[in-house]
Structure 1
């Protein structure tokens, strides 16, 4: 009777010179230079975008405003502003960079960049454990060119660190699992325990690894191995329990945030069989977009938005086919390694079904290494099996890699295509550069966080009138403007008034999505009544807009705006 975990069977046996397909043998000497090329490309692209230093995205500002003026102790013991969550190891490392280099954007992105560069290097020995030489090249190429991985490498949030933590957990498994000594098992346990403080979801990786290895040893009745595993697994569990008790439990997830992911992104796995299968099919397909980053960009396929051909052109079926084929072939070749890679996915799904972990884009980034290894395994087997007999095989590989490399090239040539491109910095700095003594700057409520970060990090010349968020206490547009009158009263007597706003963002952190309903009607634009109000009492003399971020300058009449005036 075959064992559930065939841990003794090798993943693959290198073909002998006589049996190796001729074309694969001919290409094998080039795998080393190809590996260096894709590594260099991945690093170069990341460094380029780091140097380009695009403006912070809204979510980056929400988190990184906490590094301006907060101490290490406050980061560990007080709730983060704007209800943000991040592992303590990440927070303290970024805070250290802020202390050393200042709280500017690049300093706060440096940890993510270094983690992404390290991930490219760590993937090489990890991939060599699962794949043959050209499979290693394929896996590294996927990581190097993945636009989602590149994006998170240049995002001042923790997701690039989480990807690196997964790779380090796999590398530790490769390095220490065969080592029977107590010292080796202790080192494995301590290093794994440290990873938990830098990545929340790495516990899925470690727990999945523990289940796979523990079950394999139990089924073999290898009791010495079972006893050896107790030490590292206990270290991981103790570290997670300590972090949960001292840190995570103090800052539970907010109900509005769970509702947001549920209502907006269907991010929690349903248990009903009729709903489960479509949900799993959709989420599995979307993995090719995030975290794998293999699909063409939206702007390159919008012409097929309402056509069924969009699924063909996006090539998700091809990428998903190689991924699923690779998983099936790995299961057949080595069940232990298959379960080491896939059980973390299963545990994440269980957590999602329990409503504690949303399956949504950035929260799946930690799965990228396992998914890329399985996709590369499928590519590896395809290359060695079909290249000698199927002349179109290189064309299939070219089509597979075309979207991610095209996306990467397009973003490098035109950084405006970069995901989540926003212009918060450009607009707030424009107002700052053109500000004159005596000017009054009125910040709509949805730009307050922008001012707070850039004032603390770079210093701004003005102290604004911060607009109140009165949407939840208003029943209609007229009442909304009426409740803003105290804000407008503070502008009286000003000769020049700057109005700085974002005309897209309607929901502040902490509010349930799309509430109140009248405020989110398409016909109502929250900033238009204020623009009309300023136009009634003055003349617009300057206007700067990039994306939805806007700065308008009004020369006010001598009487200035009055509290009782209506647009």
Structure 2
């Protein structure tokens, strides 16, 4: 009699297929290219940084930026060079972040080959290629994509600190790499501290031989070069950021309320899986389980790798507890590769260690479930790339239908977008009215009585005009929009409306 057994396919051949990692990388490149080629309008956060880059000189970029902005000096100089050489447009401004986003895929793959097994590489690379915020920030005029690329590059170049013997050439090389990175990425400080601290600890774990003591002295020499670079960078640039009260206030939720606020730390870490990793409710819990399994796996087989992957998290949390760097959303995007490595290791661990056939089937299903959501979201970008405030078609509509004598009023939260595009659409000072702009302390809150009163006074100044165009963008508070619509209908008659995602315009008769 032939026994009937449940056949479970062996997925090992997938992980051993040499071409598969490159197919995943190609998919990741395609997703980033689609987002980049969408050429969406700059939204408010991009516009304020773009105005600094376009209008400021190189010397001015070394000074505190306008509009309470902050970015690494190296990033700003690269952006300024690109604009001067290739012109001022969205493609040029987003080109460096895009190159960093694409380059990160290859860096992630190269680093993963040094840290995790083949089965984990496929899981990790799939996540890294498709997670929505990693795709999105590859086409945004911000430094978050380059932060990720530099974090990966530093680990790839400096990982030999832990393994190799050091000679004069390597000491100079590693000193220059770390000292330069500090000027291109603020979080590189945490990456260097993590690598440096890990290398020291691993060497101290070894036998206390004269060779190990010599290597520790060499490491300290390299770290001295990094520290000197950081001190210079701090007084040139970073001090201005930490002293900017408006900026640090906006980071409020990124800091714990006390040095012993462990609940905040656990909550912040849990939210990390939602944003910037991008897992939705339910799946984020699954990702956390895989992360913990990855930690257990490395603890059992390679404790030094666990130290290397967890230390950036610890360093960033330490900075948050010292109120020096917020642990929140896009500002910690640079940590995503290390967490993904641990999630991928957790997935590989259950595939290898759990021998029970039913449990193995469940494990494979859970891995597919984990990968399905980011892949589905990435594919959605093909149809509809992310777009926060599409002001360009709205400005085109106004320009096409505006008549001589018409008034153009620009809503205060959209002024930076409008100022970036004004000249491109033929607007000069005097052609438009900027709305009241003293409400920053109320941003992010529900509509207040103070705001309603100020808006009423502002709109009342427009009474008596027969044709008034009211341009709104970056309208992220629903109650505010409802109030403005209500009050405008009270004082006038709407003639026309044109709307795009995040931006719209009304034409009112306020006579």
* 1:181 aligned residue: 167
Deviations 1:471-502 (A, max 9, x none): 6899757853674379538xx6x653211124
What is aligned with 1:202?
Answer: 188
Change (3 A) 1:434 1:531: same
CA offset at residue 241 of structure 1? Answer: 1.0
Within the candidate set 249, 274, 283, 2:239 is matched to 249
Residue 3 of structure 2: aligned partner: none
- Return the TM-score normalized by structure 2: 0.88
Q: Which moved more, 1:252-261 or 1:334-343?
A: 252-261
Instruction: Provide the C-alpha distance between the structure 2 equivalents of 1:359 and 1:425, rounded to a whole number of angstroms.
Output: 33
Matched, 1:62 2:48: yes
Where 1:488 maps in the other structure, the secondary structure is coil
Do 1:165 and 1:195's aligned partners in 2 also have CA atoms closer than 8 Å?
yes
For 1:49, the equivalent position in structure 2 comes to 35
Query: Contact 2:497/2:507 (CA < 8 Å) preserved in 1?
Result: yes
Q: Match for 1:95 among 73, 80, 89?
A: 80
Indicate if the aligned counterparts of 2:255 and 2:320 stay in contact, CA closer than 8 A. yes
Question: Structure 1 residue 548: deviation in Å?
Answer: 4.8
Q: Does 1:484 align with 2:458?
A: yes
Distance 1:454 1:207, change over 3 A: same
Offset of 1:428 from its aligned partner?
2.7
Shift in CA distance, 441/334, structure 1 to aligned 2, threshold 3 Å: same
The answer to whether residue 411 in structure 2 is matched with residue 444 in structure 1 is yes
**Would the aligned equivalents of 1:112 and 1:158 in 2 still touch at CA under 8 Å?**
yes
Matched residue, 1:123? 108
> Superposition pairs for residues 408-447 of structure 1, below 5 Å?
408-415=378-385, 418=386, 421-447=388-414
Q: Which runs of 5+ in 1 are unaligned?
A: 1-20, 297-310, 507-519, 562-567
Structure 2 partner of 1:14: none
Q: State yes or no: 1:554 paired with 2:508.
A: yes
Once residues 363 and 96 of structure 2 are traced to their aligned partners in structure 1, the CA distance between those partners, rounded to angstroms, is: 39
Maintained 8 Å contact 2:241/2:247:
no
Provide Cα deviations, 1:254-311, integer angstroms capped at 9, x if missing partner: 334433332xxx32124465x42x3233222222222322x24xxxxxxxxxxxxxx5
2:218 counterpart (218, 228, 233): 228
How many Å apart are 1:91 and its aligned residue?
0.6
Task: Quote the residue 1:214 is aligned against.
Answer: 200
For residue 332 of structure 1, what is the aligned residue in structure 2? 300
Query: Aligned pair in 2 of structure 1 residues 164, 504: CA closer, same or farther (>3 Å)?
Result: same
Residues 95-125 of structure 1 deviation map (CA, whole Å, 9 limit, x = unaligned): 1111122221111111111001000011112
Could you tell me how far apart the structure 2 residues matched to 1:256 and 1:526 are? Answer: 26
CA contact (8 A) 1:214 1:229 kept: yes
Is residue 2:455 matched to residue 1:460?
no
CA contact (8 A) 1:196 1:240 kept: yes
Structure 1 contact 204–344 (Cα < 8 Å) conserved? yes
1:267 corresponds to: 254
Determine the C-alpha separation between the residues in 1 that align with 2:200 and 2:474.
54
TM-score normalised by L of structure 1: 0.79
Partners of 2:469 and 2:506 within 8 A in 1: yes
Number of the residue aligned with 2:4: none
Among 265, 269, 273, which residue is 1:284 paired with? 269
Match of 1:170 in 2: 155
The offset of 1:505, in angstroms, is 4.7
Stretch of structure 1 that moved more, 150-159 or 332-341: 332-341
2-structure distance, mates of 1:205, 1:503: 34
Q: 1:486 to 1:248 in 2, by over 3 A?
A: farther
Q: Distance in 2 between matches of 1:447 and 1:392?
A: 49
> Are 2:499 and 1:545 aligned?
yes
Unaligned segments of structure 2, at least 5 residues: 1-7, 443-447
Q: How much has 1:373 moved relative to structure 2?
A: 1.0
Q: Which residue of 1 aligns with 2:117?
A: 132
The answer to whether the Cα contact below 8 Å between 1:442 and 1:498 also exists between their aligned partners in 2 is: yes
Which residue pairs with 1:16 in the alignment?
Answer: none
CA distance in 2, matches of 1:438, 1:408: 46
Q: C-alpha distance in 2, partners of 1:485/1:524?
A: 15
**Residue 383 of structure 1, CA deviation:** 2.6
Q: CA deviation at 1:252?
A: 3.2
* Cα separation, partners in 2 of 1:147 and 1:210, compared to 1, 3 Å: same
Deviation at 1:531, TM superposition (A): 5.0
CA contact (8 A) 1:503 1:549 kept: yes
Q: Shift of residue 74 of structure 1? A: 1.4
For 2:451 and 2:158, the matched residues in 1 are separated by: 59
Equivalent residue, structure 2, for 1:13: none
CA apart distance, 1:153: 0.8
Superposed structure 1 runs of 4+ greater than 6 Å apart: 472-475, 520-524
CA drift at 1:166: 0.6
Alignment of 1:466-545 (within 5 A): 466-469=434-437, 479-480=453-454, 483-484=457-458, 487-488=461-462, 496-502=467-473, 504-505=475-476, 525-526=483-484, 528-530=486-488, 532-533=490-491, 535=492, 539-545=493-499
Aligned length: 489
